[in-house]
Amino acid sequence: MKWYANEKIPGQLDYNVADPMLSLVQKYNIKVRGHNVFWDNPHNMPSWARYLSPVQLSSAASRRINSVMNRYLGQLIHWDVVNENVHFSFLEQILGKNAPAVYYKKANEIDSKSIPFLNDFNTIEHGFDGTSNPAKYLEKIKELRSHGYNGPLGIGLQGHFVTPNLPYIRSSLDMLASAGLPIWITELDVANT
């Protein structure tokens, strides 16, 4: 469902991979999360979108969110609206600091039954990444709220562990729980056991 896979060429939408995958999991009554509407890392945006003017990017992003969310309307339990937005800020740099809040609000307007999620990495894995530690994650939530998004929100945590540090994981989850939002481990892998 990623933008770079669904629209390799501007205006040419391609859901030939996502549609059958969704059909397969629905056949077995497996709940599905939408990953993702936007990926805030410019290297994971469609290559053509990286070089658009603010007006052009705003227009393309509006088409994108309407296209993908309406296509799967009512079929997904969550959407990672602006993926890895604690680490990256491509949309803010081009469209302004309130851009993520605009897209979270739009996502909630399109599909009010699907919970919009923040989703990032290195928040619970270890304390070495000062960019996305639990305090920074909570700051991002406050930033979204201060820019006008006051709708439902979830905390998505990518768990890419090398050697899990259980006390750090526990304290990170406790800190994030103070936001009073649903917390999901959205990705999970352990390199060493």
> What are the residue numbers of the active site?
187
Question: In degrees, to the nearest 5, what angle opens at C-alpha 73 toward C-alphas 44 and 67?
Answer: 45
First to last CA, the chain: 31
Instruction: Look at residues 61, 103, 111 and name the one whose alpha carbon lies nearest to residue 82.
Output: 103
Q: Which is it for the CA torsion 64, 20, 160, 119, positive or negative? A: positive
Query: Residue 133 CB: number of other CB atoms within 10 A?
Result: 20
Q: 7 φ, ψ to 5°? A: -145, 70
Question: What is the maximum span of the chain, computed from C-alpha positions, in angstroms?
Answer: 48
How far is residue 112's CA from residue 32's CA, in Å, rounded to a whole number? 16
